[in-house]
Structure 1
């Protein structure tokens, strides 16, 4: 295996790890307003990701750094063609940080409400936009012979049916993955409330995830990609069964397989290209014409040998320390009335 292939695999693994770990963070943020009917319940839902969400973002930083160092042409072309979606992801992630870190700084119901909205938007928007971006990477973009993309001309093109389905599928699968994490990490009434929405979340995951996997495999994948698509569909169904039946480890394990399967499907469909072109006179970016020099790749490889194990050990230790379930305090009479009113209002709406 040459270093170009090796670093393509490394970047694929880093993004897959990011989607796996940050995916349930996004899902928790998306579902927090639905599952957390009162302040204590919402706090409990958000606490499930409290110790780990910022560590999970290290995978994105690592993936971006590896992309910049190993494949600078890929990095530059991607950012020039997807500048607006990537900028919106950055803004959304900042908004989520504000919502997560500052929500308890002011004891005011209005502040809590705005913080919860920030967490929701900062979770929903990146999930949607990552699906849009990666779907377009697989489908192809108008890359010219000099590896440039006319961002203004490319912007309308990124909202194509396949990419829009990918955006919706990513959001639905991350929501399902987040629900599985909430069920795994909570006890008591929060876990029960999470079970009540399982049917709807699973339905969305299956209805959107299955066609996206099949479309990717049949239109852009290799001859054997349908096997991965089938694995994704089975994982979604098994995960749905686990969520609905209260089998938490099965549910989380299966949704993890589904999310990882999507990453494997998309990166395997690309290889050896990294960004195909949709222009007749354009040039595909691949692992050779987009890569750094052999000398640079050698230095990166030796650096990764020493750094990656440390990062993995630290993150594994974090999950081990915070492995126990958490629960919300019992509902007070006032909170129960508020939650009941909110639920009734939601039903009427």
Structure 2
């Protein structure tokens, strides 16, 4: 059972990642962020620490831990920077975990050791330019041609899809029509460098500027038939399950950002003076920071609860949606309030809270918008679809 008192292994991991974030990430991430450079050295160090392999078995090159361990690492990284945190989150929950959950033994042996070690990154190709929340409206197609699949279409907003160490993208594609008229969607592994796979320039983004996000295009991309992930026609169901897990991870990341806002505000409130006193002595600032701590604490409880059900093998779709909704709201609200505590300095990019403010909004959008989370919660309560 998971509670607020972590076991020795989880607590040791959290302390290790917290120190790594402060010592290795904090001093360099501001410059990387402003130059929009991918943090290759940080990723290599995280790989050496085993962070990319936390929930993957030792048999397949991982650390043999659990998904909650990944969430703890994400929270501590995001207290300092979200670009680094989302690189880890997407690399594990979207890049490696689909192969770990649904791949053949041959696929696992081929891809997981490098993915778990952080030597390679995998990407998750679901969202398309014409369809975000409506993932069932997939237009990318794959047709069987002998011993191959031929893929055509495009994907948008794909994290880790164009780095120097990106090894693959697992893309969803329409492979037929079911008896009830719905699209048959299949997941297919497409290795980087496959002819016809186009990788766009990096997007110009509001936030997450030290992470890699691009659009992908598929023009007669031919891959072997054995590159299907799981069963033909099960791709949509697989990725719905993947997203449930990913929402718990994004909730942990959001909690970290929310807590980072508290950390920075406490330090600043003790140092900054106004009218002869530290601003932290004034009730207006005290109440604002107290509210921020309440949000971060509540968000943590929400993702801990979802993770507990996940690890026990219980249904957790509703709890994952609640955690993602609560935590992303907390991140956005805390980023706004932290910027207010800092005043004019909060508007300057040299201060972490400005970076937090830029990074927070996407948390209410990515891996299911807040509106989608509310829809999922309503359906889990038995309200009509």
Give the alignment's TM-score, normalised by structure 2. Answer: 0.28
Bigger strand share: 2
Using the size of structure 1 for normalisation, the TM-score is 0.30
Higher helix share: 1
* Greater relative contact order structure (CA < 8 Å, 6+ sep): 1
